[in-house]
Amino acid sequence: MTTQRVGFRDCANDGYATVTAERRSVRLTITGRVQGVFFRAWTVDAAAARGLDGWVRNRRDGAVEALIAGPADAVGTMVAACWRGPESAAVRDVAAVPADDPGPTGFHYAPTA
């Protein structure tokens, strides 16, 4: 399996995401009114529906953080969906940075960081 770097417009830093074959992996930091509005539950459902791997958790600073990995197109649509989130959320920003692919883990909640 080969690893390559490809451009990904939603990524901060160097503008690249990690891609292994057809997989892409990014870590998202989502800010705004994103805690107490079922953002994590929405993320688990939305990611699982897209067949993605990774996790989502609250952060003590009020943000939500997620590691999302899977088919490049599904990751892209998930990142775009995070800009909207659940109906009661008010997303201010979605910062995406390259991340290591966690492999086939399914999508789950992670402890608050």
List, by residue number, the catalytic residues.
40, 58
Cα→Cα distances 42→14, 25, 46, 48, 56, Å: 29, 19, 6, 10, 10
CA–CA separation, 35 and 33 (whole Å):
6
